Structure 1
Amino acid sequence: MKHVKTLAIVLALAGPPAAFAAGSMDGMDMKPSAGLKQAPRPVAAEIRKIDMKAGKVTLRHDPIENLGMSAMTMAFPVQDPASLKHFKEGESVSVTFDNVNGKPTVVEMQRK
């Protein structure tokens, strides 16, 4: 009989924390924490200017989630500057950005 009472007490004490933990997940924001790196994904953009000499392209782009950047117009270095010869100003493109040597960089760009 003593074991039954001990078991009942242990179960009674173990139940509420589990219920509390399960209930505390409701409504939680499940976004990755700032410390976790998101994988680069293509972003819609429009080419505003191409600077072949500097190896940069100015883009009006949608938010870049993996770099934590909101939508804006900005010049970016291009990982493969020679690829810029295949594009022209005003084109709609899909661009993948990543941090290269500490700088936001275009790592891939394709026509839409």
Structure 2
Amino acid sequence: MKHVKTLAIMVALTAAPAAFAAGSMDGMDMKGMDMKPSAESKQAPQTVAAEIKKIDAKAGKVTLKHGPIENLGMSAMTMAFPVKDRASLKNFKAGDSVLATFDKIDGMATVVEMRHK
């Protein structure tokens, strides 16, 4: 019986914060609060200088050594990206210097445009 009482107390203590957090915000003074959009907000696509390291036309991916991609919150690195227009990959080869435009498509960092530098 002692274990049942302990369990009941633990359940009550665990549920209390959730019940408190679910309360209404009516009547709260929101003046002066920073109501900026979250980091997930849409930013304009960004063009970045890059070097093609590898092309996988079958998978529709290109591996790029690129500078920082600020609109996606990515630092400089080498990474494989899906390409929006797979057919365009035939115009490039490993070692090419390019300007790649990056954006998120279906939640994934994607090359939406790529052209020779």
Q: Normalising to structure 2: TM-score of the pair? A: 0.65
SS at match of 1:42: strand
The percentage of aligned residue pairs carrying the same residue is 73
- What is the CA-CA distance between 1:39 and the residue it aligns to? 1.0
Alignment partner for residue 41 of structure 1, among 46, 54, 71?
Answer: 46
Contact (CA 8 Å) 1:38, 1:65: kept in 2 or not? no
Are 1:60 and 2:65 matched, yes or no? yes
Q: What is the alpha-carbon distance in structure 2 between the residues aligned to residue 35 and residue 87 of structure 1?
A: 32
After TM superposition, the structure 1 = structure 2 runs for residues 1-112 of structure 1, keeping only pairs within 5 Å, are 34-112=39-117
- 8 Å contact 1:56–1:78 — kept in the other structure? yes
Secondary structure of the residue aligned to 1:88 is coil
Paired residue type of 1:63: P
Q: CA RMSD in A?
A: 1.4
Unpaired runs of at least 5, structure 2: 1-36
Partner amino acid for 2:55?
I
Q: Which runs of 5 or more structure 1 residues have no equivalent in the other structure?
A: 1-31
Aligned residues: 81
CA distance in 2, matches of 1:36, 1:107: 18
TM-score normalized by structure 1? 0.68
